[in-house]
Chains A and B, each alone.
Chain A
Amino acid sequence: MKINWKAYDSQSFFDELLTANGNPRLAARGIIKFLQNLPDEELGERRAAAELAIRDMGISFTVYTEGGNIDRNWPFDIIPRSISSKEWAKVSAGLKQRSRALNRFIDDVYNKQSILKDGIVPADIVLQSSNYKPQCRGVSPRYGAWAHICGSDLVRNKDGKFYVLEDNLRVPSGVSYMLENREITKRVLPELFENYSIRPVDDYPSQLYRTLASLSPRQNRKPCIVVLTPGIYNSAYFEHAFLAQSMGAELVEGSDLFTDDDDCVYMRTVDGPMRVDVVYRRIDEDFIDPEAFREDSMLGVPGIMRAWKAGNLAIANAPGSGVADDKVIYAFVPDMIRYYLKEEPLMESIKTYLCMLEKDREYVLANLDKLVVKPANESGGYGMMVGPHASAEKRREFAALIEKNPRNYIAQPTLSLSTAPTYIDHQLEPRHLDLRPFILQGKDTWVTPGGLTRVAMIKGSLVVNSSQGGGSKDTWIVESNK
């Protein structure tokens, strides 16, 4: 395929595969060369093959609409995104460091609260946050690990550096798509794997199993691990089933479990009750136990918190982990790293202005046209304002919201998300993307080689969510020492 690289204009953004003067980056040389040697039309055929594979493998996600729920096939772009292993080693070390500090923080907040007493993080923003769960006070899970599965969103800015956009510590999803993306790429671009040394990703289910097994309260026997799903109508049900199946764990709904008088949790099987050791929950903590949290929850297991507190059951992620997954707390992560680990942060964070602080608030209100304003507690891009794209009216609306409830808002400079060549209408065009690696924290810490790359398929768009027209790419960590 002839590629007109002059027409490929990533403007001033950092491009993942090409340098500013249009040459392939080291880790991308093989991909670019392969694309250039591919006969015309063949890329289209490969893409059709990928679509067929996705349909046959039944890789889908659910979109909620007024007319009911629709299973859509997973949108996938066949051009991989590559990162050199040398660069990834740094990112990976940074993510591990961050995960260790965040877990120390959660454990501290529910126990000694020394970081609050020492005034590193203001006590009231933690204790008054809706993500702080008083029900979790005094609990200390194994290894001090709370957020066992973390899916951090990273973006690469104009300066070529990765920044952490947010730490998803509640129930991050997407890992099954990371695995399926690799599976599809192997099927449709097998030649590429011949001359490349690409880190495999399919180790994830066994790493997840190891992490979960390390949490079991009964270490002397094979643990009984279950994946707790809200059910078939959840948008990530496919992933829940996938993970359960690949770990050999049972996929359960709330009604399959019950807590007995001995404060142990059991699963109802045809052979009678069977004790459960580890619950990998894929439902929000507010719904896991009607006795402890929302009484109206039909999804949860009454008494499961009792069992967890008594140490008879491990829950991943531990209830209460969300306290560190808050856009205000985000601003303090570098300080946490210094406080707990006595290290300098290895990962970049984005400069964050806290509207609750007078000085920051003044700056934010004066610069609304340059900043992104986000509510502190929402995820998934809801209720935010992108200053440079917002109308004057929208900015006035947000100014009023900030004045009224400053604790609820933070602001950050607008970032320029990097791009990568994406196959659109028979040619390659730059599209913006992000990256979600997964960090596992049990007895050991482990980071996926790469992660899930999500790409905004619409020109110029920064929205990568699959429910809003986002797609994804296979992500390659390429050995650079060959």
Chain B
Amino acid sequence: MTMLSRVADRLYWMARYLERAENTARFTSAYTHLVMDLPRGADLGWQVLVDILDAEPTFLERHRVFNEQNVLRFLIADLKHASSISFSIKAARENVRTTRDVLPEETWEHVNELHIMCKDLAEKSVGRRHRYEFLEQIISRCQMINGLLMTTLCRDHPHRFIKLGHLIERADMTTRIIDVGAGAILGREDSNPAEDTLLWSTMLQSLSAISAYRHKIGPLVEADSAVNFIFKETSLPRTLAFCLNGILNELKPLKNNEDATKVAESALNKLTRFDAQKKTFEELHQFIDQFQVYLCDLDEAITNTWFLPAPSS
């Protein structure tokens, strides 16, 4: 079938934005829960959430203090910030608006409803009272849209580009959450093992990986095995290994896939050789940085190979 480069581009970004919104909702929700469990004085502050999105400069342009209210407004309702939930959903909707003809009919309706819901409730949900319900709504609606796409879409070009966007964004968000989470946990001055377990569990929870971990590894969550699990377990759709294998699979049937495949294979090799057991946090952080460079290169290879060239003027 024929597929316009522009349409491929928009589907890819639709998937990235949906995944971004869901992930932001996930870690925000998990973190809010965690804060309630921690003893007074032990909490990690709210800046962590901004750091996950690498958005400190943007944040400081509009707020001075990293308090709960400011950070949550920034993550949930700020329409000018490209990683906020509101922005992501608006951007996903814009991308669907112009690709309706290649998607299952109900997609537009659902994305549109999600957008209306978000527009109406985002501001109200900054405070703790409605926050949980709102974030749950975002997560479940994103899941529903993904489910709709996965159960009705032809396994053809549109499906491939949606999958690519979805997997790259997911791998990216997973590394961000681990990077910042591990840094915050390990960087505390007076850490105690009981709290560490709680913190690592929360992190796995925000990656919807906690029950899989318990099944495969055991009930006690430890730092090294948690990192290894979330990076290398091939059966869980949230892990880096799963995302990379998925990406390689989607690339296979596409023409001119050499550049992108090469990057994805290098990233997979790098990941295979990695073992969290013997690593300091510094080394972990370094690895994540390198891994994110691979993801950027992959995005660039996909953009250059299949999407519209940028206007020359």
Contacts and interface: CB of A to CB of B under 8 A. Distances in A.
Contacts of B157: 270
B151 interface: no
B227 to A, nearest CB: 36
A272 B6 CA distance: 12
A255 B308 contact: yes
B5 A270 contact: yes
A245 B98 contact: no
A271 B255 contact: yes
Interface stretch (A103-111, A246-254, A383-391): A246-254
Q: How large is the interface on B (under 10, 10 to 19, 20 to 34, 35 or more residues)?
A: 10 to 19
Nearest to A267: B4
Q: Which 10 A-B pairs have the closest CB atoms?
A: A268-B5, A270-B306, A245-B101, A270-B3, A270-B8, A271-B255, A232-B98, A256-B4, A256-B6, A269-B2
Contacts of B100: 241
Given A270-B254, A271-B2, 18 more contacts: A232-B97, A232-B98, A241-B100, A250-B2, A250-B4, A252-B4, A252-B6, A256-B4, A256-B308, A267-B2, A267-B4, A268-B5, A268-B6, A268-B308, A269-B5, A270-B3, A270-B306, A272-B256
A208 interface: no
B108 interface: yes
Contacts of B5: 256, 268-270
B39 interface: no
B311 interface: yes
Nearest to B94: A232
B258 to A, nearest CB: 14
Interface string A48-84: 0000000000100000000000000000000000000
Contacts of A268: 4-6, 308
B104 to A, nearest CB: 13
A58 B4 contact: no
A253 B98 CA distance: 11
14 contacts: A58-B108, A244-B101, A245-B101, A251-B101, A267-B4, A268-B4, A268-B6, A268-B308, A270-B3, A270-B254, A270-B255, A271-B3, A271-B255, A272-B256
A272 B308 contact: no
A274 interface: yes
B4 A272 contact: no
A37 B108 CA distance: 40
Interface of B: 2-6, 8, 97-98, 100-101, 108, 157, 161, 254-256, 306, 308, 311
Contacts of B255: 270-272
A58 B103 CA distance: 15
A232 B97 CA distance: 8
A263 to B, nearest CB: 20
Contacts of B311: 255
A250 B161 CA distance: 18
A256 B307 CA distance: 10
Contacts of A58: 108
Contacts of B254: 270
Contacts of B4: 250, 252, 256, 267-270
Contacts of B308: 255-256, 268
B276 to A, nearest CB: 37
Contact of A241 (B3, B6, B101, B161): B101
B94 to A, nearest CB: 8
Interface in A357-388: none
Contacts of A231: 98
B109 to A, nearest CB: 8
A241 B2 CA distance: 16
B6 A274 contact: no
A373 to B, nearest CB: 41
A256 B5 CA distance: 7
A205 to B, nearest CB: 13
A333 B118 CA distance: 56
A224 B108 CA distance: 27
A373 B292 CA distance: 67
Nearest to A242: B101
B215 to A, nearest CB: 39
Interface string A223-249: 000000001100000000100110000
